Amino acid sequence: MGHYVPSKVVTNDDLAQMFDTSDEWIRQRTGIQERRFIEEDGIGASDLAVPAVKMACKNAGIEVSDIDAIIFATLSPDYTFPGSGVLVGDKLGLPGVPALDIRNQCSGFLYGLQVADAWVRCGMYKRVALIGGEVHSTGLDFSNEGRDVAVLFGDGAACAIIGPSEDDARGVIDVKVHADGSGAKLLWIEAPASNRMPRITHEMIDERRVYPQMNGKQVFRWATSKMPEVSLEVLGRNGLTAADIDLMVPHQANARINEFVAGKLGIPPEKVMQNIHKYGNTTAASIPLALSEAIQEGRARKGDLILFAAFGSGFTWGAGLVRL
Ligand SMILES: CC(C)(COP(=O)(O)OP(=O)(O)OC[C@H]1O[C@@H](n2cnc3c(N)ncnc32)[C@H](O)[C@@H]1OP(=O)(O)O)[C@@H](O)C(=O)NCCC(=O)NCCS
């Protein structure tokens, strides 16, 4: 595992200088205290990914040149096209290495993990760099109209190197993902859109339809229902229970969502990794960023059984089990 966050710390009080909010409101409802934003113009998701991949390779004991496939999960790609996977491949000096972009928002890492696991199991690739990377700060509405969303998100990237295990007991045990597009417009960005002629207008910008829109209460309700449900599904079909878990590493969208989900599963708070207070919601980067820090801090060790769970825009959701 490896991760990277930009150096610029933005506190809740900093946001309160930009629109009507308060440290108390944000902390109480989300657990977020600060987040990281890119330092300057010109830094994209692929740039944040480069140091994360290098750190992951170092920790995996491989050279960057050993990577034979890239998966890049992001909802904030550097450009509409091409994807950030090809850009990070170029920046790492990996010409010819295939790069797949995954657009499953907060569940992107788990969708990517399922693909990487299948690739490695069938012998297609041996060293997959599975990246989650986001630059949210350039796309948030820092006005009173956008404050419900703007306080939640931060920038960051993380990477897992997925390869064959020499020990049958260790590795990716299972990943289960779901989607329900009936919730697409409950957390989305409306414009620019290829179904509009033209895709973007001054009116869309003036009406702030180029910024993320969210029905926070509905998202909260869905997340607290689907994350426990899919966690039990993946545990059950592997003959495991929540009591077997050494550490739960949930998507970091809201500390209250995670407390609720862990409570429903009967997992005590000390077995739940939370770093949302430092980074906010980094979407596809959040699970690998939390796991990378958990390993760094000694909270996740070799042999531990880890449970992942995520819910996000789409709606998409999923859970995964890994023996470190
Ligand atoms: C966003 C969220 C924290 C809002 O909490 P909530 O209790 O639902 O709050 P509400 O939306 O009902 O808003 C309550 C009040 O706070 C106000 N408010 C909204 N954002 C605010 C902010 N940043 N600061 C201060 N006040 C804010 C609202 O305008 C509303 O005021 P009103 O009562 O006068 O109308 C919560 O819904 C949530 O976390 N949802 C899940 C979001 C999520 O996880 N998204 C990512 C998923 S991947």
In angstroms, the CA 199 to CA 184 distance is: 19
pLDDT in tens, the chain (324 residues): 999 999 999 999 999 999 999 999 999 999 999 999 999 999 999 999 999 999 999 999 999 999 999 999 999 999 999 999 999 999 999 999 999 999 999 999 999 999 999 999 999 999 999 999 999 999 999 999 999 999 999 999 999 999 999 898 999 999 999 999 999 999 999 999 999 999 999 999 999 999 999 999 999 999 999 999 999 999 999 999 999 999 999 999 999 999 999 999 999 999 999 999 999 999 999 999 999 999 999 999 999 999 999 999 999 999 999 999
**Domain map of the chain by residue range?**
2-162, 171-323
Tokens of 219: 């998202």
Q: Which residues pair with residue 176 across a beta bridge?
A: 319
Phi, psi of 189 (to 5 degrees): -115, 125
Tokens of 92: 């790492």
Residue minimizing CA distance to atom 19 of ligand 1? 148
Of 114, 118, 117, 112, which Cα lies nearest the Cα of 130?
112
Residue 89 · residue 68 · CB < 8 Å: no
At the topology level, CATH places domain 2-162 in: Peroxisomal Thiolase; Chain A, domain 1 (3.40.47)
Q: What is the pLDDT of residue 103?
A: 95
Q: What is the pLDDT of residue 318?
A: 98
Q: What is the pLDDT of residue 13?
A: 98
CA of 119 to the centre of ligand 1 (A): 40
Of 133, 127, 38, 130, which Cα lies nearest the Cα of 84?
133
Of 170, 99, 158, 171, which Cα lies nearest the Cα of 296?
158
Cβ neighbours of 10 (radius 10 Å): 17
CATH assignment, 171-323: 3.40.47.10
In angstroms, the CA 161 to CA 60 distance is: 7
This prediction has a pTM of: 0.97
* Fold match flag (2-162 vs 171-323): yes
Cβ neighbours of 203 (radius 10 Å): 9
Residues contacting ligand 1 via CB (< 6 Å): 21, 25, 29-30, 106, 147-148, 151-152, 214, 216-217, 219-220, 253-254, 257, 281, 312
Q: How far is residue 20 from each of residues 69, 142, 157, measured CA to CA in Å?
A: 45, 10, 29
Question: Which numbered atom of ligand 1 lies nearest the CA of 151?
Answer: 23
**Amino acid at residue number 306:** I
* Mutate which of 25, 106, 147, 148 for ligand 1 pocket (most atoms within 8 A of beta carbon): 148
Q: What is the pLDDT of residue 86?
A: 98
CA of 137 to the centre of ligand 1 (A): 19
